[in-house]
């Protein structure tokens, strides 16, 4: 037993990447989570009609840690929220108060807390109705955030399978023998991309149909766009997996990259409002394919958008995949020399 234990320790000492993964990767990820999920200091913006709102309530709201903006009672509250001009629109009626918000999120929760604290000073028993432009208060967490997991699963599983497959081709010598022929490097990369792309189409259609018709997930827009976006995410995952595998020596090393390159992307998938992330870390989302895919899926499934809304995200995924294909094709040069 002690011999085997000593052997494992000696092997680990020679594998600096594994030591770094065990000792430092958790520190990196937990620090990242600290910045993302810690106190963001986000100050919500609340819109009210000050002419029809009692001065005492206006004063109570102004005491809170929030930005209060004045709007006319004739303003379309839903459109005002869609334009991201406020996190909540607060209004009074005979039976109580109404709080209209865009969707259920950390931002709307902060706005709700501010309003409740202000009203509690005036009338703790006041009746307040919460209403969302997208979704409703009876929606489950799955209904509100299910689209996130569609994108994450589509990307993650294809990344794992494609990344390990290319490493296996290298370790078995198949890739080197292939590159000794007249086949071009771009043909190798595109062959893997198209091959896994076939399964990506089947996977995307299966996940979407199962989620909508079996699990009852709501889809306000055309499910075709959801399938297309998930296919593009899966194709980008193939290219991403190929890039990681080219710079990995074994299947185990591909797995080692998951906490570094995959887990952080989950935080930019829509689970956290990006503008509430401190220190400008939300801008990292623009270099992650998961952000573009999940944001586009949200526009279709939650907001009912079509091609006119999601085309920039589709273009971003295409560009991302193209860049990765160029990088992978260039990186294969070192194997052509063998």
Q: Give percent of the chain with pLDDT exceeding 70.
A: 78
Say what the pLDDT of residue 36 is: 63
From CA 113, how far away is CA 242, in angstroms rounded?
46
* Structure token digits, residue 257: 């990259």
All domains in the chain, ordered by first residue: 2-37 (no CATH), 45-132 (3.40.190), 141-336 (no CATH)
Instruction: Write the pLDDT tens digit of every residue in 311-332.
Output: 999 999 999 999 988 888 887 7
Lowest mean pLDDT among 11-20, 125-134, 260-269, 270-279: 11-20
User: Is residue 132 helix, strand or coil?
Assistant: strand
Instruction: Write the pLDDT tens digit of every residue in 183-209.
Output: 777 877 788 778 777 888 888 888 888
Backbone angles phi, psi at 108, to 5 degrees: -65, -35
From CA 321, how far away is CA 240, in angstroms rounded?
8
Q: Which long-range contacts (CB under 8 A, 24 or more apart) does 116-124 make?
A: 117/64, 118/57, 118/60, 118/61, 118/63, 118/64, 119/57, 119/60, 121/60, 122/56, 122/57, 122/60
154: Cβ contacts below 8 Å, ≥ 6 apart: 200, 203, 204, 207, 230, 233, 234, 237, 293
* Structure token digits, residue 83: 């334009």
Mean pLDDT, to the nearest integer, of 52-81? 83
Dihedral of the alpha carbons of 231, 235, 241, 245, in degrees to the nearest 10: 150
- The pLDDT of residue 338 is above 50: no
Helices 289-301, 307-331: crossing angle, 10 deg rounding: 160
Q: What is the average pLDDT value for the chain, to the nearest integer?
A: 79
Strand partners, 96: 93
Tokens 């100050």 correspond to what residue? 43
From CA 218, how far away is CA 215, in angstroms rounded?
9
pTM across the whole model: 0.78
Closest CA to 60 of 71, 48, 72: 48
CB 238 within 8 A of CB 231: no
For 62-72, give one letter per residue: b (16+ CB within 10 A) or e. Answer: eebebebeebe
């Amino acid at each position: 037993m002690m011999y085997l234990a000593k052997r494992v320790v000696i092997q680990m000492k020679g594998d600096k990447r594994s030591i770094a993964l065990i000792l430092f990767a958790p520190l990196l990820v937990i620090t990242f989570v600290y910045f993302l999920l810690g106190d963001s200091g986000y100050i919500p913006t609340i819109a009210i009609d000050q002419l029809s709102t009692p001065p005492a309530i206006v004063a109570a709201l102004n005491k809170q840690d929030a930005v209060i903006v004045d709007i006319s009672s004739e303003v379309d509250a839903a459109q005002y929220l869609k334009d991201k001009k406020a996190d909540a629109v607060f209004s009074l009626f005979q039976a109580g108060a109404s709080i209209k918000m865009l969707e259920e999120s950390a931002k709307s929760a902060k706005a709700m807390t501010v309003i409740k604290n202000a009203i509690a000073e005036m009338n703790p028993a006041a009746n307040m109705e919460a209403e969302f432009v997208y979704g409703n208060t009876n929606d489950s967490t799955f209904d509100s955030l299910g689209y996130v997991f569609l994108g994450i699963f589509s990307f993650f599983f294809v990344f794992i399978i494609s990344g390990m497959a290319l490493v296996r081709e290298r370790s078995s010598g198949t890739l080197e023998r292939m590159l000794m022929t007249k086949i071009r490097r771009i043909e190798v990369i595109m062959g893997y991309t198209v091959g896994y792309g076939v399964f990506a189409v089947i996977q995307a259609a299966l996940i979407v149909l199962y989620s909508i018709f079996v699990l009852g997930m709501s889809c306000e827009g055309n499910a075709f766009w959801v399938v297309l976006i998930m296919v593009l995410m899966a194709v980008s995952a193939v290219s991403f997996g190929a890039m990681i595998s080219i710079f990995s020596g074994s299947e185990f090393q591909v797995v080692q990259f998951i906490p570094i390159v995959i887990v952080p992307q989950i935080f930019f998938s829509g689970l956290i409002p990006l503008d509430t992330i401190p220190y400008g870390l939300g801008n990292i989302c623009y270099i992650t394919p998961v952000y573009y895919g999940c944001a586009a899926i949200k526009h279709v499934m939650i907001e009912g958008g079509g091609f006119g809304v999601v085309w920039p995200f589709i273009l971003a995924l295409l560009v991302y995949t193209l860049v990765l294909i160029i990088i992978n094709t260039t990186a294969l040069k070192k194997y052509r020399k063998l």
